[in-house]
Amino acid sequence: MRCFNPVETLEGDRLDELKLERLRSTVDRLYERVPFYRDKLDAVEYRPGDIKSLKDLESLPFTTKDDLRDNYPFGLFAVPMRDIVRIHASSGTTGKSTVVGYTAGDIQVWADLVARTIVAAGGDRDDVVHVSYGYGLFTGGLGLHYGAEKLGATALPMSGGNTKRQVRMMVDFGSTILCCTPSYALNIAEVMREMGISRDSIKLKAAILGAEPWSDEMRRQIEEELRISAHDIYGLSEVVGPGVSIECEEKKGLHVFEDSFIPEIIDPGSGKVLPPGERGELVFTNINKEGLALIRYRTRDISRLFPEPCACGRTHTRMERVTGRTDDMLIIRGVNVFPSQVEIVLMQIPGLSPHYQLVVDRVENLDVLEVQVEMSAEVFSDEIKQLEVLEKRIRDEVQSYLGVGVKVRLMEPRSIQRSEGKAVRVIDKRKI
């Protein structure tokens, strides 16, 4: 195993010492410098110096997306604006976007974290890192870019879109590591096929895919089609951007870089910390960030932690891949449904493409979930009768997996809009 930073293999006790020291200094600094945190910490009668052990984190208050919005744009920054060298923001589909700021030191730390993820995916300085995450206020593009440069690899700042051009550059420049959303990786593979570019004309060996949920089934499809090793990368702008965690070669969970973030899993209802192995809402505390550091930030992402040692040798805890968010969960006639569950079923049925969308509506006060999925080109030319059999199979299998009846609509190849960034999986007409 190769690591970019020796801290990735720091022994448990030493890692805990480092975490404690950084936690204490972060919380005390926020108390001094950020009025919002001073008020919140005063409310729980916290006094600087009160953190004596990592367990004390549990007594601190949570931070939510609303707190960031209420302090829009720069109210939670812990340094003067003249020390901020970069701003990013999340798109914010509802209300104000959330704004994050980085000092020069933060940019270095972040680049180091992302360099670790590229190495975990098998990269080194000889690689050509093809960055198809969007550049701009979104953290994906510049995040991967700085990581690739930090590693000493060659960064290719493609950004999203213009997929044919992406493929041409991949051939001409010999890209070896692709960074984009999993749905965009499938889109690229499809365009490659349509352009008649054979797998042998590209040098791709790995992909660092994230920013949206995806399943192991989708991983298999991407790995098969592109003949690469696909690694899940997780992160969120509020906490830093990409580089919070990554899958190593074992692909049994994502290592959370604990020298920078302390993860917890809580019960989303009660806010109580859950024991290792139990599934709940992921919460992160920044312990290595100057510009904007958040205490117990509630991500709304659902996961669980595996503190057991990993065969790769990294000592940092692992989190299960994020399969859904507390706020993505659809409630269909009282049954909780995550789009990722539907994906798992669809990907196991031959004759379907990995492009799908869920359309939810309310008809006569009853929720109706329609699964729209594209057929592969071969199936599309089949007789109607065979299509009916396929439709019924999907309906039955989704129903038995989810425990709720669904409508199924087989779609023509290429009729569902392709993503160039995060895929839109759900169209909920009930809210309109």
Nearest-approach distance from CB 32 to ligand DLL, in angstroms: 28
359, 429 in Cβ contact below 8 A? Answer: yes
Core vs surface per residue 216-253: b (16+ CB within 10 A) or e = ebbbebbeebbebbbbbbbbbbbbbbbbbbbbbbeeeb
Nearest-approach distance from CB 142 to ligand DLL, in angstroms: 10
Nearest-approach distance from CB 148 to ligand DLL, in angstroms: 13
Nearest-approach distance from CB 90 to ligand DLL, in angstroms: 4
Q: Which is nearer to ligand DLL, 175 or 394 (CB)?
A: 175
Query: Burial of 375 by CB count in 10 Å (0-12 exposed, 13-18 middle, 19+ buried)?
Result: buried
Question: CB nearest ligand DLL: which residue?
Answer: 210
Q: Which is nearer to ligand DLL, 210 or 280 (CB)?
A: 210
DSSP 135: P
Amino acid code (one letter) for 157: P
Q: Which is nearer to ligand DLL, 84 or 322 (CB)?
A: 322
Nearest-approach distance from CB 244 to ligand DLL, in angstroms: 8
Nearest-approach distance from CB 321 to ligand DLL, in angstroms: 6
Residues contributing to the site for ligand DLL (CB under 6 A): 90, 133, 139-140, 210-213, 232-237, 241-242, 299, 301, 321-322, 325
Q: Which is nearer to ligand DLL, 24 or 314 (CB)?
A: 314
Q: Which is nearer to ligand DLL, 111 or 211 (CB)?
A: 211
Q: Which is nearer to ligand DLL, 217 or 361 (CB)?
A: 217
Nearest-approach distance from CB 141 to ligand DLL, in angstroms: 8
Nearest-approach distance from CB 89 to ligand DLL, in angstroms: 9
- Phi, psi of 383, rounded to the nearest 5 degrees: -75, 155
Residues 6+ apart with CB under 8 A from 243: 110, 113, 114, 116, 117, 143, 147, 233, 235, 257
Q: Which is nearer to ligand DLL, 15 or 218 (CB)?
A: 218
- Phi, psi of 84, rounded to the nearest 5 degrees: -85, 125
265, 256 in Cβ contact below 8 A? Answer: no
207, 228 in Cβ contact below 8 A? Answer: yes
Residues 6+ apart with CB under 8 A from 256: 244, 245, 263, 305, 316, 317, 318, 319
**Angle between the N-to-C axes of helices 163-173 and 182-194, in degrees from 0 to 180, rounded to the nearest 10:** 80
Alpha carbon 335 to its chain's center: 25
Nearest-approach distance from CB 173 to ligand DLL, in angstroms: 21
Q: Which is nearer to ligand DLL, 70 or 327 (CB)?
A: 327
Q: Which is nearer to ligand DLL, 41 or 215 (CB)?
A: 215
Nearest-approach distance from CB 388 to ligand DLL, in angstroms: 35
Nearest-approach distance from CB 113 to ligand DLL, in angstroms: 12
Residues 6+ apart with CB under 8 A from 215: 323, 340, 343, 344, 347
Q: Which is nearer to ligand DLL, 139 or 357 (CB)?
A: 139
Which residue pairs from 159-165 have beta carbons closer than 8 angstroms and sit at least 24 positions apart in sequence? 159/131, 159/132, 159/133, 159/134, 159/135, 160/132, 160/133, 160/134, 160/184, 160/420, 160/421, 161/420, 163/187, 163/188, 163/191, 163/418, 163/420, 164/191, 164/195
Tokens of 24: 């204490």
Cα separation, 115 vs 137, whole angstroms: 20
Q: Which is nearer to ligand DLL, 289 or 321 (CB)?
A: 321
